[in-house]
Chain A
């Protein structure tokens, strides 16, 4: 199993949340397919040198969210039904809170509404083509 996940244990963001986001991202983008097997808790914990209970906690939450399924003795797998949609919806939430944080930050350093709007149009310009689709960005 390739180590497709990475975590940074030294940030203020809990490791299990980092893992959950990465699994959802991999499922939403098709890096992990429905039915594909995930590393075992022990395997992922030793691969990433993180606590096994932390990995187990991430897997429990992913299972609760319907993204993965775990069967005793067989391991954890990407759910066959609807995992991709649920993961994509979850990633929209991630994007939403990132946009929210960006606006909050802009506000906290005293930018006016019109300035923030301008920054957003610039960013949209840079990343999206005029018809609204995401650009195939060379540098992304």
Chain B
């Protein structure tokens, strides 16, 4: 696999979508490098699905731009792009096998034997009509169709919703396999653990705003909690509030917690100057980082 290190597969420039007075996505700018798995996290209504729709031309952005391989959407983009919406676009009255046959006729790159392998992986009964399949099995059929064209770009909206844990793991494995082969994956998920495993980049949306973005491993290395206890109620001091590396401060009785980015040395010194009885620096996993970013911790 030869990937130019800085080449971008997808670039969103100040993407904005408003519906009347409601701003669903607000000036979103993200760069998705080729060969990466980019996880989009956010609470319900954060703007994830709207972002996908705007990116893929299914909704018209109010302003801003989305580029694929440096170009706005163009017919050839679709040749190597697979999009799976939250509810896959399937015909209820058709069987899984009929969907595969239709896709074979539709897409020159569609690989029928790969599709049958994937269907087996997801224990899908292809003879059943889609209308009789569970939500998870419908997702599995959507994924089967999405991966069977060997896409270079995958946009997956909640790809594993409704799937059991074994099949959820298969979805991650498929994304990892695709990325190892040079494909780029953009996906959203409510399951932070999946993003933590499979994604190298993450963006966190909250009420349409990008609140945190970065390389997952770098975020883990740089986002820390400093926890201090005091003889009496945790003091308030301006130096801490003013420190730009402090994201949030929590005080509860004798306990003080500062959520920080960076090594935290300066913050530790600031806190030590208040003569705490103990100070320690704690790591944060992606779930902790997410909850702090959306202000729900």
Chain A contact residues, CB within 8 Å of chain B: 9-17, 41-42, 45-46, 49-54, 57, 104-105, 108-110
Q: Are B217 and A15 in contact (CB under 8 A)?
A: yes
Contact status B179-A51, CB under 8 Å: yes
Cβ contact within 8 Å between B288 and A51:
no
Is B180 within 8 A of A42, CB to CB? Answer: yes
B200 within 8 A of A: yes
B220 touches A12 (CB 8 A): yes
What are 14 inter-chain pairs, A to B, with CB distance below 8 A? A9-B193, A9-B196, A11-B283, A12-B220, A13-B283, A14-B220, A16-B217, A17-B221, A45-B176, A51-B179, A51-B199, A53-B179, A108-B280, A110-B277
Q: Is A108 a contact of B176 with CB atoms below 8 Å?
A: no
Q: At the interface, yes or no: B37 with Cβ under 8 Å from chain A?
A: yes
- B169 part of interface (Cβ distance < 8 Å): yes
Contact pick for B37, options A9, A42, A51, A57, CB 8 Å: A51
Please determine whether B196 and A46 come into contact, CB atoms closer than 8 angstroms.
Answer: no
Contact with A along B258-297 (1 / 0, CB 8 A): 0000000000000000000111101111111000000000
Provided the pairs A49-B173, A50-B197, A53-B36 are in contact, do residues A12 and B180 lie with their beta carbons within 8 angstroms?
no
**Complex: A57 Cα to B198 Cα, angstroms:** 14
Given contacts A16-B217, A109-B278, contact A52 B283 (CB under 8 A): no
Interface hub of B180, B193, B196, B199 (most chain A Cβ within 10 A): B180
- Other A-B pairs beyond A9-B197, A11-B283, 18, CB < 8 Å: A10-B285, A12-B282, A12-B283, A14-B217, A14-B221, A42-B177, A42-B181, A45-B176, A50-B198, A51-B176, A53-B36, A53-B179, A53-B200, A54-B217, A57-B217, A108-B278, A108-B280, A109-B278
For the residues of B in contact with A, the DSSP-based class is helix
Minimum C-beta distance from A107 to chain B (A): 8
Instruction: Decide yes or no: A110 and B196 within 8 Å by CB, A16-B217, A52-B180 being known contacts.
Output: no
With an 8 A cutoff between CB atoms, is B35 at the interface?
yes
What is the minimal beta-carbon distance from B202 to any residue of chain A, in angstroms? 11
Q: Is B234 an interface residue (CB 8 A)?
A: no
B-chain residues with CB within 8 Å of residue A46 when the two chains form the complex: 173, 176-177, 180
In the complex, residue of chain B having the shortest beta-carbon distance to the beta carbon of A109: B278
Contact B176 A12 (CB under 8 A): no
A53, B181: Cα distance in complex, Å: 11
CB distance from B167 to the nearest CB of A (A): 13
Measured CB to CB, the closest approach of chain B to A79, in angstroms, equals 24
Q: Which residues of B contact A9 (CB under 8 A)?
A: 193, 196-197
Residues of A within 8 A of B217 (CB): 14-17, 54, 57
Q: Are B279 and A108 in contact (CB under 8 A)?
A: yes
Contact B220 A41 (CB under 8 A): no
- Is the beta-carbon distance between B169 and A54 smaller than 8 angstroms? no
Assembly CA distance A12 to B198 (angstroms): 15
Separation of A11 and B282 alpha carbons in the complex (Å): 11
Q: Which residues of B contact A16 (CB under 8 A)?
A: 217
Which single residue of chain B is at the shortest CB-CB distance from A8? Answer: B285
B14 to chain A: closest CB distance in Å? 26
Report the minimal beta-carbon distance from A130 to chain B, rounded to whole angstroms.
34
